[in-house]
């Protein structure tokens, strides 16, 4: 009744008066959304380290770095496939150690076979129980029940207890491992991935040289139902610590078009902060990562991780380490400290990035690269080295999270969305 009367009254108002009433709201929304615009930098903040094959400099100084692969004994063949690939495309020249981690004792057969595949560079470690278990204060019974329900609801792997431990481990506990303390950099590997181009320079050295802290190959959207509360928790922590929003943070956000004060009502919707603005769900896919462990070991990051842990979302939801790392990087790193390895050919499951080969940059006579042939094509704009695909084979959301930070005229080196 009241609504109908209000409706009738509004309809009787002249249009100009309506516009006058609406104007401040419209202006406020425009200003609000404008604040989330990401300014284009005057130079590319993240150019590729190299854009063609290099003669591998096997005598050059190395960084303090290690490959890390978490795996299960039953993943023997899949693990071998990955190691064969990274050895052939990179590590036969650069010889970084490869650490295998497991929550259970290693099968001696896995150790023998993988160490052989890794050319004797394998290190085999078991994760201490306290870094792979429920936190003491969590109600395990209700967590286990929730995991069962999540399994039924169908978010990927959400019904597996081990997967939840894994996500919590990689999100924070990994960086506290004693066996990793002596290293600064890590390159994460997973069983059954492919490296499809030769990597003829040392990415660790380049990361250090260019003051990068985080490198990725594939960016994509998180499965929303795996983490309804993650972004809100993150944004609350950010606000409580008064962390300013960088352009990288804003590049991951989608500002709300709802006028004030109604916008705040949206804060109850998943993936929104207390003001009603949303995370786009964009994140870097962490099955490939090259990163500086000091960033993740820092008091600030560990404080963020502990805050998330206390919220219980690693078990009561299925917060993934990829999303956690990405939000932390967007929140705490400078935009120019993040690197997209556009030149690295990589496949995990059905997602892949495969650059086109750099024209005239394939070093046809190189003796070091003689076993890395054949490459099939070269294409204008290509930056890959002896990639075994033609540059069209892409299923990657490319630089989406970072793309807004590229120069307007930076050519996209082939990406698919």
User: Which residues bind to ligand GDP, rule: CB under 6 A?
Assistant: 70-72, 75, 102-103, 157, 162-163, 166, 190-191, 287
Residue 310: half-sphere exposure toward Cβ, Cα within 13 Å: 9
Q: Judged by CB, which is closer to ligand GDP: 71, or 290?
A: 71
Token pair in block for residue 341: 């390895």
Degrees, nearest 5: CA angle 366-367-368: 90
Judge contact between 167 and 314, C-beta under 8 A: yes
Residue 222 touches which of Mn ion, ligand GDP, none (Cβ within 5-8 Å per kind):
none
Instruction: Give least dist CB 68 to ligand GDP, A.
Output: 9
Q: Judged by CB, which is closer to ligand GDP: 189, or 329?
A: 189
Residue 247 touches which of Mn ion, ligand GDP, none (Cβ within 5-8 Å per kind):
none
Judge contact between 167 and 308, C-beta under 8 A: no
Judge contact between 408 and 40, C-beta under 8 A: yes
Judge contact between 192 and 314, C-beta under 8 A: no
Instruction: Give least dist CB 100 to ligand GDP, A.
Output: 9
The closest alpha carbon to 135, from 160, 165, 166, belongs to 165
Q: Judged by CB, which is closer to ligand GDP: 102, or 117?
A: 102
374 preceded by cis ω (within 30°)? yes
As a whole number of angstroms, the distance between CA 128 and CA 130 comes to 6
Contacts (CB under 5 A) with Mn ion, residues 161-190: 190
DSSP classification of residue 291: E
The two counts, helices (H) then strands (E), for the chain are 15, 14
Residue 362 touches which of Mn ion, ligand GDP, none (Cβ within 5-8 Å per kind):
none
Instruction: Give least dist CB 197 to ligand GDP, A.
Output: 21
261 preceded by cis ω (within 30°)? yes
The closest alpha carbon to 169, from 261, 415, 161, belongs to 161
113 catalytically annotated = no
Contacts (CB under 5 A) with Mn ion, residues 189-218: 190
Q: Judged by CB, which is closer to Mn ion: 63, or 190?
A: 190
Type and span of the H or E element at 293: helix 293-297
Q: Judged by CB, which is closer to ligand GDP: 72, or 297?
A: 72
Marked catalytic residue, from 75, 289, 317, 342: 289
Q: 277 exposed, middle or buried (CB, 10 Å; 0-12, 13-18, 19+)? A: buried
Q: How many CB atoms lie within 10 A of CB 183?
A: 17
**Count, residues near Mn ion per rule CB under 5 A:** 1
As a whole number of angstroms, the distance between CA 196 and CA 194 comes to 6
Instruction: Give least dist CB 188 to ligand GDP, A.
Output: 8
Instruction: Give least dist CB 338 to ligand GDP, A.
Output: 21
Instruction: Give least dist CB 287 to ligand GDP, A.
Output: 5
Residue 316 touches which of ligand GDP, Mn ion, none (Cβ within 5-8 Å per kind):
none
Nearest residue to ligand GDP on Cβ basis? 162
Instruction: Give least dist CB 193 to Mn ion, A.
Output: 7
Q: Judged by CB, which is closer to ligand GDP: 100, or 375?
A: 100
Q: Judged by CB, which is closer to Mn ion: 190, or 393?
A: 190
Angle of helix 321-332 relative to helix 161-171, nearest 10 degrees, comes to 20
Q: With DSSP H G I counted as helix, E B as strand and the rest as coil, what are the percentages for the chain, rounded to 5?
A: 40, 15, 45
Please give the residue ranges that form the binding site for Mn ion (CB under 5 A).
Answer: 190
- Catalytic amino acids? 289
């Amino acid at each position: 009744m009241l609504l109908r009367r209000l409706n009738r009254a509004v309809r009787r108002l002249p249009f100009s008066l309506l516009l006058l009433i609406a104007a401040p709201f419209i202006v406020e929304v425009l200003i609000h959304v404008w604040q989330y615009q990401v300014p284009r930098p005057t130079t590319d903040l993240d150019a590729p380290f190299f854009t063609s094959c290099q003669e591998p400099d096997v005598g050059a100084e190395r960084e303090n770095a290690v490959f890390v692969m978490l795996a299960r004994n039953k993943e023997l063949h899949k693990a071998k496939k990955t190691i064969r690939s990274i050895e052939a495309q990179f590590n036969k020249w650069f010889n970084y150690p490869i650490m295998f981690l497991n929550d259970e004792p290693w099968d001696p057969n896995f150790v023998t076979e993988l160490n052989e595949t890794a050319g004797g560079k394998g290190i085999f470690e078991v994760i201490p129980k306290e870094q792979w278990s429920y936190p003491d204060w969590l109600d395990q019974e209700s967590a286990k029940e929730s995991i069962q329900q999540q399994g039924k609801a169908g978010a990927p792997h959400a019904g597996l207890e081990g997967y939840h431990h894994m996500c919590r481990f990689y999100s924070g506990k990994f960086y506290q491992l004693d066996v990793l303390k002596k290293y600064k950099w890590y390159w994460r590997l997973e069983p059954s991935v492919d490296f499809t181009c030769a990597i003829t320079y040392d990415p660790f050295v380049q990361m250090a040289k260019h003051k990068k802290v985080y490198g990725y190959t594939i960016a994509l959207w998180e499965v929303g139902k795996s983490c309804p509360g993650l972004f809100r928790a993150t944004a609350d922590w950010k606000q409580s610590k008064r962390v300013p929003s960088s352009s990288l943070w804003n590049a991951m956000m989608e500002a709300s078009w709802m006028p004030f004060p109604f916008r705040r009502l949206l804060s109850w919707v998943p993936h929104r902060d207390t003001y009603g603005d949303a995370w786009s769900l964009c994140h870097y896919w962490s099955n490939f990562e090259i990163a500086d462990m000091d960033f993740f070991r820092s008091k600030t990051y560990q404080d963020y991780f502990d805050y998330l842990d206390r919220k219980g979302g690693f078990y009561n939801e299925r917060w993934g380490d990829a999303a956690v790392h990405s939000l932390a990087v967007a929140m705490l790193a400078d935009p120019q400290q993040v690197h997209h390895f556009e030149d690295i050919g990589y496949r995990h499951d059905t997602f892949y990035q495969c650059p086109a080969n750099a024209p005239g940059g394939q070093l046809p006579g190189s003796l070091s690269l003689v076993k890395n042939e054949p490459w099939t094509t070269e294409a204008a704009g290509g930056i890959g080295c002896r990639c075994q695909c033609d540059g069209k084979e892409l299923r990657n959301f490319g630089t989406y999270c970072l793309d807004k930070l590229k120069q307007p005229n930076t050519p996209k080196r082939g990406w698919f969305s």
